[in-house]
Chains A and B, each alone.
Chain A
Amino acid sequence: AQKITQTQPGMFVQEKEAVTLDCTYDTSDPSYGLFWYKQPSSGEMIFLIYQGSYDQQNATEGRYSLNFQKARKSANLVISASQLGDSAMYFCAMREGNTNAGKSTFGDGTTLTVKP
């Protein structure tokens, strides 16, 4: 079974609007971390935001927030006030456990296109 599922291969959003990118995960480990990374067309991987499984509040980093619903095993990324520079591929990833060498499992990604 897929550990990380991103069901939206592609998304479009109008500039200045908000957009939600979906991510569901599967783990039986009570301790885990969830990440979102951005990959622009230039190819580099950029860390955006992190949510720990024991964190009580949803993570926020500037225009990025993570809508963490533990019971539903979802960790959706919300980008507010979209900018043209947000056009990129976005990956959800999960690190399981505290003694797992920090290994992360990635979803297949969502391509976001911001329209002017």
Chain B
Amino acid sequence: NAGVTQTPKFRILKIGQSMTLQCAQDMNHNYMYWYRQDPGMGLKLIYYSVGAGITDKGEVPNGYNVSRSTTEDFPLRLELAAPSQTSVYFCASSSPGTGTEKLFFGSGTQLSVL
């Protein structure tokens, strides 16, 4: 059981470049999330989705876009990369009504913008 799969694991971007971080889950979870973790800090929510076709902003959405065309996939798009977007990005999923709704995390993408 793969769980939540994120690609790539590492990426270096130049200022102004764009890229898409991929995220897929095979647990049929309705809820999916993108978080970023800056060095020595906790996770901050960028965007989330409660189902295919439905997305909404989290705490730090500026500079990012998402889409959710299927239950399984939730890609995160960075347009015009800036040094402030240097961070580790985590995709996560959860299932409502399970009691805990704990987050299942991908292994993370370490992104550097130079």
Contacts and interface: CB of A to CB of B under 8 A. Distances in A.
Contacts of A52: 99-100
Given A91-B42, A102-B31, A106-B42, A47 B50 contact: no
Tell me whether chain B's interface is mostly helix, strand or loop, or mixed. strand
B32 to A, nearest CB: 10
A102 B96 contact: yes
Contacts, number: 60
A108 B40 CA distance: 7
A35 B102 contact: yes
B26 interface: no
- The range of chain B's interface size is 20 to 34
Interface stretch (B65-73, B77-85, B103-111): B103-111
B45 A45 contact: no
**Chain A facing B: main interface SS:** strand
B2 interface: no
Contacts of A35: 100, 102-103
Contact count band on A: 20 to 34
Contacts of A43: 88, 107-108, 110
Contact of A101 (B31, B42, B44, B100): B31
A45 to B, nearest CB: 4
- A-B interface, 9 closest residue pairs, ranked by CB to CB distance from nearest: A106-B42, A45-B105, A50-B100, A102-B101, A106-B43, A102-B94, A108-B42, A102-B31, A47-B102
Interface of A: 4, 33, 35, 37, 43-45, 47, 50, 52, 91, 93, 95, 101-109
Interface of B: 31, 33, 35, 40-45, 48, 50, 56, 58, 88, 90, 92, 94, 96, 99-105, 107-108, 110
